[in-house]
């Protein structure tokens, strides 16, 4: 069923009123292309969010404007062994190949090489402002690299034409920091939204799916609640239910623990594990919360200064000899990471 005009007007108003970009918490720049202009041509949840304009032709991922690595990089990257401990017999769902991304003079990704294993819960950990959100925006084509490539199931995301990108995004479920629920819709309609957008399913089937997903996240019986009646934890669970309704192959969680107390964080971590055990797929969680990593992560990648310091199965990383990884994963004040 397609969305009615009045629904679209409502969403337009909401998006214009709420200028926060739910993936990064940044304020949308009005000089950026208006995402709502794309809405009519390619309705889809991610199309509601800020999307970077990219230069034509889109086939090249090497930009002449990409800044050259600075001479002092070697010293900065002395802890970056980029050691990748193998996950036996598992392919990568997502791969970053030497990705560089700068915003003006701010070089955020500086030669990022990373593989996200299929069928595992992976965590990208790193200090604040180190590029974790920028990294996941590249996976869904909301940002484009200055240099390098991002492969999702072997397909290059920056090289995709719009139709392919739109199709590829159906593989993803995304849980934004605040759940990114539409304030004017009740919980049921929020969770049903991607199904109405992306599928031809009838309302009976949609009801069955939404009901099952809301039950799975412990929100059965809250169909009629409006987002402003929900606690932060409930909003996140509702966002999780919505991220799952299209049976995604890859689920991205942008700091699922932000704004939650330790108990609710622990409960959400348990929920992520249970749902993953039930549904499978590649889950990618970005966070700087080490307790969540201990609870949930099967695979960990530590990101710092736009490159991976080390990555591998969680137990290997928690036993790492690398001084930076040891300091970060134990939360010590002494070590290579200072107040910067
Ligand atoms: N669209 C943008 N335009 C300009 N700068 C940006 C943009 N998006 C991100 N940045 C910059 O990129 C850097 C990395 O930001 P990012 O949000 O990825 O960090 P993070 O590791 O997710 O941090 P945190 O843990 O605090 O959320 C920051 O300096 C940020 O200001």
Domains of the chain in start order, with CATH, are: 92-184+245-330 (3.40.50.300)
Nearest CA to ligand 1 atom 4: 103
pLDDT band with cut points at 50, 70 and 90 for residue 332: low
Mean pLDDT over residues 215-223, rounded?
A: 87
pLDDT score recorded for residue 35: 32
pLDDT for res 324: 82
**pLDDT of residue 318 exceeding 50:** yes
ipTM above 0.90, yes or no: yes
Give the pocket of ligand 1 (CB within 6 Å). Answer: 24, 26, 103, 106, 108, 126, 128-134, 288
Nearest to 136 by CA among 166, 172, 164: 172
pLDDT in tens, 56-90: 434 434 444 444 445 456 677 766 776 676 666 78
**How many residues are present in the chain?**
340
Going from the Cα of 3 to the center of ligand 1, the distance in angstroms, rounded, reads 33
What's the sign of the alpha-carbon dihedral 182, 188, 194, 196? negative
Q: What is the pLDDT of residue 310?
A: 92
pLDDT at 65: 44
- pLDDT tens, 232-265? 888 888 888 898 888 899 999 988 877 777 877 8
Q: Which range, 5-14, 16-25, 83-92, 292-301, has the best average confidence (pLDDT)?
A: 292-301
258-286: average pLDDT: 86
Whether the predicted pLDDT of 40 surpasses 50: no
**pLDDT at residue number 79:** 64
Give the residue whose CA is nearest to atom 14 of ligand 1. Answer: 131
Confidence of residue 46 (pLDDT cuts 50, 70, 90): low
- Ligand 1 atom closest to Cα of 137? 18
- The Å distance, Cα 332 to ligand 1 centre, comes to 24
- Given a cut of 90, whether residue 322 has pLDDT beyond it is no
- Average pLDDT of 147-165? 93
pLDDT interval class at 24 (50, 70, 90): very low
User: Strands 250-254 and 92-103: what pairing?
Assistant: unpaired
Residues 6+ apart with CB under 8 A from 146: 63, 65, 66, 67, 100, 101, 102
The CA 134 to ligand 1 mean position distance, Å, reads 6
Q: Counting atoms of ligand 1 from 1, which one is nearest the CA of 135?
A: 18
Q: Give the distance (Å) from ligand 1 centre to CA of residue 68.
A: 20
Ligand 1 atom 19, closest CA: 129
Q: What is the mean pLDDT of residues 225-237?
A: 86
Ligand 1 atom with minimal separation from the 131 CA: 18
Q: Which residue puts its alpha carbon closest to atom 30 of ligand 1?
A: 129
| Residue bearing the bigger pLDDT, 141 or 24 | 141
Of the residues 133, 135, 259, which should be mutated to test ligand 1's pocket, given the most ligand atoms within 8 Å of the CB? Answer: 133
pLDDT of residue 112: 93
Q: What is the Å distance from ligand 1's center to 226 Cα?
A: 30
Which ligand 1 atom minimizes the distance to the CA of 106? 29
Q: Which atom of ligand 1 is nearest to the CA of 104?
A: 4
User: Of 22-26, 39-43, 179-183, 192-196, which one has max mean pLDDT?
Assistant: 192-196
Query: Which whole number is the average pLDDT over 25-54?
Result: 41
Going from the Cα of 26 to the center of ligand 1, the distance in angstroms, rounded, reads: 8
Q: What is the pLDDT of residues 197-215, one digit of tens each?
A: 888 999 999 999 999 889 8
pLDDT for residue 145: 95
Residue 62: per-residue pLDDT: 43
- At 333, the pLDDT band (50, 70, 90 cuts) reads low
Where does the pLDDT of residue 49 fall: very low under 50, low under 70, confident under 90, or very high at 90 and above? low
Residue 21 CA: nearest ligand 1 atom is 1
Per-residue pLDDT averaged across 276-300, rounded? Answer: 89
pLDDT for 95-130, tens place per residue? 999 999 999 989 999 999 999 999 999 999 988 888
| Nearest atom in ligand 1 to 287's CA | 25
- The rounded mean pLDDT for the chain is 77
- Report the separation in Å between the CA atom of 308 and the middle of ligand 1, taken as the mean of its atom positions: 16
Q: How far is the CA of 293 from the centre of ligand 1 (A)?
A: 21
109, 125, 132: which to mutate for ligand 1, most atoms within 8 A of CB?
A: 132
- Please check the confidence at residue 136 and state whether its pLDDT lies above 50: yes
Rounded Cα distance between 145 and 107, Å, is 11
For ligand 1, atom 3: residue with the closest CA:
103
Instruction: Name the most confidently modeled range: 19-23, 84-88, 129-133.
Output: 129-133
């Amino acid at each position: 069923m397609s969305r009615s005009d009045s629904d679209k007007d409502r969403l337009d108003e909401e998006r214009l009123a709420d200028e926060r970009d739910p993936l990064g918490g940044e304020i949308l720049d009005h000089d950026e292309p208006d995402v709502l202009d794309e809405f009519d041509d390619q309705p889809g949840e991610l199309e509601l969010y800020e999307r970077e304009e990219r230069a034509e032709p889109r086939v090249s991922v090497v930009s002449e404007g990409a800044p050259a690595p600075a001479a002092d990089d070697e010293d900065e990257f002395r802890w970056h062994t980029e050691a990748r401990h193998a996950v036996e017999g598992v392919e990568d769902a997502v791969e970053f190949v030497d990705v560089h991304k700068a915003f003006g003079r701010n070089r955020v990704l500086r030669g990022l090489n990373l593989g996200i294993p299929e069928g595992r819960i992976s965590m990208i950990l790193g200090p604040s402002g180190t590029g974790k959100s920028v990294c996941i925006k590249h996976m869904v084509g909301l940002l484009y690299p200055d240099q390098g490539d991002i492969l999702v199931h072997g397909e290059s995301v920056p090289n995709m034409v719009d139709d392919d990108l739109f199709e590829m995004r159906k593989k993803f479920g995304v849980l934004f920091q605040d759940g990114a629920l539409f304030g004017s819709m009740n919980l049921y309609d929020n969770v049903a939204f991607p199904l109405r957008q992306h599928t031809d399913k009838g309302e009976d089937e949609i009801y069955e799916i939404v009901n099952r997903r809301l039950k799975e996240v412990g929100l059965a019986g809250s169909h009629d609640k409006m987002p402003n009646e929900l606690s932060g934890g409930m909003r996140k669970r509702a966002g999780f239910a919505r991220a799952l309704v299209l049976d995604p192959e890859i689920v991205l969680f942008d700091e699922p623990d932000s704004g939650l107390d330790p108990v609710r964080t622990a409960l959400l971590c348990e929920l992520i594990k249970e749902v993953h055990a039930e549904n499978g797929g590649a889950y990618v969680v970005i966070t700087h919360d080490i307790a969540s990593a201990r609870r949930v992560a099967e695979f960990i990648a530590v990101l710092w200064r736009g490159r991976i310091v080390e990555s591998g199965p969680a137990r290997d990383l928690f036993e790492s000899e690398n001084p930076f990884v040891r300091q970060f994963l134990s939360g010590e004040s002494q070590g290579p990471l200072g107040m910067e």
